[in-house]
Amino acid sequence: MNLDLSLLTALVALALSTLNLFTGVGNLLSKGEKKIDERLKKAEGTLISHDRRIQTVEGDMKHLPTRESQHRTELALSEMNGRFAALEEKLKPIAATSERLHELLMEQARK
């Protein structure tokens, strides 16, 4: 097998050109991948941010009263308001008596 130098040079040039062509095509295809990778990283960052915010809200929600416990609290407050109103009515005669005693003592002090 006798290869002449021009044939060998042509084969090497063909191999290098083919390699260069594949590299160029690979670079063109990877540009799209790079853009997709950038968009994916940005979307992942946004997703992580939203996940943290959701976890914060869920953590805060655990400490809030439920509908039933809120209703029980409202009922207890209504009952307490009723008791205070009844106590106020019971204290009115005592306050009136105290006022009369005060006036009597003031009159006696003036004499």
In a domain, 57, yes or no: no
Q: How many domains does the chain have?
A: 1
In a domain, 37, yes or no: no
Full domain range(s) for residue 90: 66-110
The Cα 92–Cα 85 span in angstroms is 11
Structure confidence at residue 8 (pLDDT):
78
Tokens 């005693």 -> residue: 101
Express each pLDDT in 18-73 by its tens digit.
Answer: 999 999 888 887 777 778 888 899 999 999 999 999 999 999 888 888 999 999 99
State the DSSP string of 8-63. HHHHHHHHHHHHHHHHHHHHHHHHHHHHHHHHHHHHHHHHHHHHHHHHHHHHHHHT
The Cα 33–Cα 41 span in angstroms is 12
In a domain, 32, yes or no: no
At 6, the amino acid letter reads: S
